[in-house]
Structures are given as structure tokens and as C-alpha cells.
Structure 1
Amino acid sequence: MAATQAPATTRWQWALAGVTALGLAVAAALAAYAEAHPGDGQALLTLWFSGMLQMKAWFTTAALVLVVVQVLSALAMWGRLPGVRGEPPASVALLHRWSGAVAFVLTLPVAFQCVWSLGFEDEPARVLVHSVAGCLFYGAFAAKMLALRLPRLPSAVVPVLGALVATLLVVVWFSSAFWFFTQPGFARV
């Protein structure tokens, strides 16, 4: 019996190693590109906002609100939402999928501005934390998306990666949008 379990265990370990390697590779590639392309600070895209920082702060805030929806819907799907009993309706899974997709899409113009216009910065410490967390966010997101498609991974992998994605977006938000909104003299829109 132990001989038949060993290959299955080895498979999920290799799958988990692959998920981890993909996540780290995506994060490292973003960081390397941002470091190699320091940017000139010029806004490429502001949409209807008065500047690049305003657009980035508001889009990241909108993504953060959707991440709260993500966490609550995930807790409901996994039967961990306090006060809720029984099987959640199918609409919860649909809400989870679409709120995640929209949140991710909202982060793309923000990341593009960060990587292309600003580059990877290491000073001050807040900006270093922001740069690292932003790169890790996309790596964790890629790892989670791959983990969703791989069979036989331990059941905790997807929730842990989801929590990591949510946590990293919170760190990105606090190290950028929150900082921006608390600065005196910055235009809010």
C-alpha cells in the first residue's frame, strides 16, 4: 500500500513545486524588467483622472474592495463564513470568480504604470515594500491560477494562495494608495 501512495505523493509535491516555481518566476521577471527599465516618471495612461498617481490610487482601492468580496465569497464557498450555515448558492462561486477577474483587470493599468513609468525602486522603505509586494502579488496570482487547474494538490493550497494574493494586495494598497490619500496637498481625483 505504501508503494502506491508514494508516487501520488510525489506527484502533488512536484505539482506544488511547479506552482511555487511559476509564482517566483513571474515575480522575479516583473522585478527584473522593472529594474532594467527604470522609467521616466511620465504617465502613459491617466484615463479620467488628473494624474497617474490618482489613477493608480483609485484603481488599487477599487481592486481592494473587490478583494474583500473575494475573501467573503471564498469563506462562504468553503463553509467558513461565521453565521452562515449550509451550502452557499451557486451565485457565490460566480461572484467570487467575477469579482476576482475584475479586481485583477483593475490592477493591470496600475502595474503597467508602475513597471513602465516608475520602475523598481528601493528607497524609501515604503516604496521598496510596495515594489516587492507588487511583484509577489502577480507571482502569487499566477500560482493560484495554475493551482486551480492542477488535480491532486492538497486542499489547503488554493485557499492559502488566495489568502496570499489578498494579503499582498492589502500590502500594495497600504504602501501606495493609503499613503497617497493621507498626503497633504495631493488632488484626490
Structure 2
Amino acid sequence: MSATMHEPSPTRFTSLLVPLLAGGLVMVALGVYGRAHTPTGFAVGPAGFSAALPMKSWLTTGAFVLAFVQVVSALSMWGRLGVAIPPGVHRWSGRLAFVLTIPVAFHCLYALGLQYDVPRVLAHSLLGCFFYGVFTAKMLALPKRDTPGWTLPVLGGLAFTALVGLWLTSSFWFFTTIGVKL
């Protein structure tokens, strides 16, 4: 029996298997590395900032703001806004947001590791692993044309949610507890 518009083909779901497995592996690998690696405590390159925490807070805030650009431009691309935003805005805001997260994630994993003694820090650590896993799955699912239509919105929404959670458990905490510093 052939698949109809209302009856999804099993191959449409199996095409998601590799991206989801790869994303899961990235998530677990980051978590295992974060726990197994002995944190150095060394602040990685806070160039232009007074210390590592302000650097991480501001870079994460930049990625957080760009995540909202991602949502608005995705809604535009899917015809939900009634306003056309050039597709390049979505691509480049996503690329820039990802690039901003790299020094933050590197510092978190290398200098601090995955920590679980403080609930906020545990949530932050798990959200960081989840973000990179979901991002991996989304990037691997992106070129596949045979995935279900909900794939990219769901994976993008999960990446956005993880990034908001990361910002709340790091930058927002820093700005409201320590203060706004460069």
C-alpha cells in the first residue's frame, strides 16, 4: 500500500534516524567528556572582557538575541508573518549565534566540566549538552527532503528553547546576581 498525504511513509521517519542518533551521540559525548575531564579552572581567552564570566554572559546574550531573529525569520520563511525577510537573515543569524556559543561551550567544558552539585548549574550543563545535540540533529536533517514536515520546526524550536534555558541559567543569573559588567 502506498503512502498518502494523511499516512506518513515509514521511510520519512527512518530518514530522521541518523540525524537523531548523531544528535544523541553528541549530547552524550559532551556530557561524558564534561564529567570525565578534569576541569582546569583556567579561563579561556576573555579577550576584550574583564574576565571569563562577563565574556560568557555577553556572548550568550548575543546568541540569545540572535535566537529570536532565528524564530522571526523562520516564521517569515514558513509564511506565518505576512512579511518577507530575506532567507540570508535566517542562515547568517543562525551561523553567528552558533559561532558565539563556541568559546562559551569550550570554556564551560574545558575549564569547568559538567557540574551537578548546584541545581542551576546542573540544569545549565544538561541544557548545553542538549543544545548541541539538537543543533547537530537539525543540521543533519536540514538537507534531507524526505523527513516529515514538522522536523525542522520541532528541532529548531527545541534548539531555541535550550538556548533560552542556557541564557536564563547563565547570563540572566550573572546579570541579576553579579551585575552588568564588561
Please state which band the TM-score falls in when normalised by the shorter chain: over 0.9
Q: Secondary structure of 1:175's match? A: helix
Alignment correspondent of 1:143: 137
Stretches of structure 2 that go unaligned for 5 or more consecutive residues are none
Q: Does 1:114 align with 2:108?
A: yes
Q: Does 1:123 align with 2:117?
A: yes
Q: Secondary structure of 2:16's match? A: helix
Q: CA deviation at 1:115?
A: 0.4
Q: Is the 8 A contact 1:38 1:120 kept in 2?
A: no
RMSD of equivalent CA atoms:
1.6
After superposition, the C-alpha distances for 1:117-149 in whole angstroms (9 at most, x for unaligned) are 000001210000000000000000000001111
1: CA distance between counterparts of 2:24 and 2:109? 17
Alignment correspondent of 2:3: 5
Alignment correspondent of 2:79: 79
Aligned residue-pair number: 179
Q: Is the 8 A contact 2:13 2:148 kept in 1?
A: no
Alignment correspondent of 1:188: 181
Identity of aligned residues (%): 46
Q: CA deviation at 1:187?
A: 6.2
2: CA distance between counterparts of 1:62 and 1:44? 18
1: CA distance between counterparts of 2:38 and 2:76? 42
Q: Which runs of 4+ in 1 moved over 2 A?
A: none
Could you tell me which amino acid in structure 2 is paired with residue 188 of structure 1? K
Could you tell me which amino acid in structure 2 is paired with residue 5 of structure 1? A
TM-score normalised per structure 2: 0.93
After superposition, the C-alpha distances for 1:139-172 in whole angstroms (9 at most, x for unaligned) are 0000000111112111110011001101100000
